[in-house]
Amino acid sequence: PTSRSPQAALRRERASSVFRPRAAMPASSQTQLRSCVLRCGRSGFAVDYWGRNPCVGAVFLTHAHADHLCGLSEAWEPDGRTVYCSSVTKALLLRKFPGLATRRDVRIETLAPNASVVLRLPDRSSASTRTPKRQTTVAETLLPNDSVNDIGEGHENDELLTVTALDAGHCPGSVAFLFEGKCGRVFHTGDWRREDWCGKASTPFGYDTLTNQPRRPLNDEKRRASSTASTATLPRCLTRAPLDLVLLDNTYGDPSYVFPTRHEAASRVCGLIKQTLEKNENADVYVGVDSLGKEPLLAAIARAIGEPVRVTPERFHASIAALEAAKEGLDEVKRGDDDADNEESDGDPFLGAAPRGSLTCASTSSCRVFALPKQRVTREKLAAVAAHTGREIVGILPTGWAVANATATEAPNAFARAVASFRGEKNKNAAKTLSASAKARDDFTFAKSGAFVSETTDGLPLVHAVPYSLHASYDELEALVRALRPRAVFGNTRAPRNSSS
């Protein structure tokens, strides 16, 4: 990562087996992604990094969020680098940069989740030319496990890298990568949240994505029995040998960030929506979401209200492309091989794509629930919508930063107590408060779930902040690292460069 070599990080951290975050994330600012370039013998590879580096022979893309695509454009120069990602991410990437699909020098290959694949990295040593003399074929770059010794002419100095993609549970198409080669055993989580790995849920999102039916959450007894990650809940590829380095999604790398599971948070969102629609026939609900992500939440809302949630045309067509790509990728795995070395099935087979029938962009829809970009779900902007439409508007912001938006003196501890009471870990009769303090910043009015709030004193629309997070909370990160016990841990994100951070 950045200018520090993984070997140096290993030496610094080898003596420590206890997870300690590098820096606490600030409560009022978004984190910044670190550049990640790793050496692998005579070659190297990058993760979510599109800059020029002479040692990089391949780029691995974890998902298609904009902050992981900084530096990529239709004019990007591959310089002999192959891009590897999931089938869903490839479909979304080519929707964003359609010009890449027609360029002969750009090669984007897909990796199926849970399958270990051996890749050939081009020689990037100082003695080699930076630009390959000829374009390598897909077959020469992507090798089956039983052909690692079948190296063609002109590739004698190439490095072999075994890669396993795993569902990261962050957004449609997101994957984490396990790398094995001369770089050691390195696990890069990308943006990551897998409650089932940490013993907090039975499935990644709380429902069976194959049938689109809710699954019963773990009861209190089972939750207490499996409150931490263990080798039984983790993919076998991560635990069959020690890990040298874990590159961790430390977006919420501070003990004050304690979240409910997404299943629990989604239940709260659905309850707020149903309560709003039932109490006021003249009310509409606006849910603020990212341009990509939270599809399982939108599907849960659609199930709760009995009709598809209204989204923008761009998001609707992107969701269709993601689902079709996920199905094609699943079909390829089924048609592929019965390789005994492949890992057991883990995670969502559709990689978080929205089930068909859960979203709509039809202007004829009568649905009163809208999913819009989160930047448009502020009290002032919703007030303008209400004035234009003549309807009452209620906003919902499902985000882990709901903790950060409350007052610094009350939010983290009060929020943690509220989550604990909601999950039955303290007083079962306590108020099940999932929203932050009402003394929040001016942009938000946070309602407590113990009583339905229908109006505000200043006349602006109400916005509920519910901690539905696509990133793991601190306790989940700690559970993962304690189970993996790597030789070193390094954060994928850093705080913005300012004095308060």
**187 and 281: one domain?**
no
> Is 356 domain-assigned?
no
> Is 338 domain-assigned?
no
> Is 269 domain-assigned?
yes
pLDDT at 206: 57
Label residue 466 exposed, middle or buried (CB < 10 Å: 0-12, 13-18, 19+).
Answer: buried
**In DSSP terms, which residues pair with 116 in a beta bridge?**
164
Decide if pLDDT at 479 tops 60: yes
**382 and 290: one domain?**
yes
**88 and 111: one domain?**
yes
Cβ–Cβ under 8 Å, residues 329 and 173: no
**437 and 299: one domain?**
yes
Tally the domains of the chain.
2
pLDDT at 229: 59
* CATH (domain of 408): 3.40.50
Domain containing 437 equals 262-312+361-466
pLDDT digits (tens, 9 = 90+) for 199-235: 888 877 655 444 444 444 444 444 433 445 566 789 9
pLDDT at 496: 63
**237 and 372: one domain?**
no
> In the predicted model, what is the mean pLDDT of the chain?
77
The rounded distance, in Å, linking the Cα atoms of 29 and 23 is 13
**299 and 197: one domain?**
no
> Is 333 domain-assigned?
no
pTM higher than 0.75: yes
Cβ–Cβ under 8 Å, residues 206 and 215: yes
> Is 231 domain-assigned?
yes
> Is 25 domain-assigned?
yes
Q: What is the largest CA-CA distance in the chain?
A: 76
Enter the DSSP assignment of 154: T
Mean of the pLDDT values across residues 273-289? 95
Higher local confidence (pLDDT), 150 or 5? 5
> Is 425 domain-assigned?
yes
* CATH (domain of 59): 3.60.15.10
pLDDT digits (tens, 9 = 90+) for 315-353: 999 999 999 999 988 876 655 554 444 446 677 888 788
Cβ–Cβ under 8 Å, residues 313 and 361: yes
pLDDT at 349: 80
**108 and 167: one domain?**
yes
